[in-house]
A and B are shown apart, each in its own frame.
Chain A
Amino acid sequence: DADVTQTPRNRITKTGKRIMLECSQTKGHDRMYWYRQDPGLGLRLIYYSFDVKDINKGEISDGYSVSRQAQAKFSLSLESAIPNQTALYFCATSDSFAGGIQPNTGELFFGEGSRLTVL
C-alpha cells in the first residue's frame, strides 16, 4: 500500500459544484501539503499544515480551503469549482525539520496525484 494515498484519483465535475480531495498518510509525518500542477507552471503550493491545529496559506490559496482532521489526514476543498481549477493535484508529507538546515531533512513524499477536470 502507498504511504501517501489520494482519493479520488480522477474526477470530472461541473462548474459550481463542491469538490473534496482527500489525502491520508501512514508515514507518521507532521507536515502535509497540497500542490496543484499545471503545464509549464510546475507545482504551486496551495496550503500546508504543520500539525492538526496549524494551517498555512501557500501561494495560490484563493478558491480553496483545507481541513486537517487528524495527523494522518489532510483534505482540500473547492467550494464552488471553476474551470481554471482544472489541474493535477498532489498531496505531500514531510517530517519536521530540526532547525530547518539539516541535510537530508525536508524530503517531500508525494501521493500519486488527483486529476480534476472542471467543465
Chain B
Amino acid sequence: DSGVTQTPKHLITATGQRVTLRCSPRSGDLSVYWYQQSLDQGLQFLIQYYNGEERAKGNILERFSAQQFPDLHSELNLSSLELGDSALYFCASSASGGQAKNIQYFGAGTRLSVL
C-alpha cells in the first residue's frame, strides 16, 4: 500500500458529462501529481500541485482542471468528456519540496470509461 488513496476506483459515464476524481496523498506529502495512462500510450503527466499551488503543467486539456485543497487532497475535474478520455488516471504524491527528482508514490488509479 503506497498510502495514496484515489476514489472512485471505476467510473463509467457518457460523452459530454463531467466527472471529478479525488486523491488523498500520503501523510506529510505536499506535492500531488496527476497522470493519464491510455492503453496505447505511456504515463502522460497532466499537472502538479505543491502545497495548494500549481507547480508544473503537462499536456493537460483545457477541458480538464485540478486543484489542491488546504487539507492537501486534490481533485481532477474532467468535463465535456469524449470517448478518447477513457483511460486510467493516476495520482501520485511526493515529499516536501516537490522537486522532480523526488520519488513519487502512486495511488491505485481511477479507471474512467466514457461510453
The answer on A and B forming one complex is no
Binding site for B on A (CB under 8 A): none
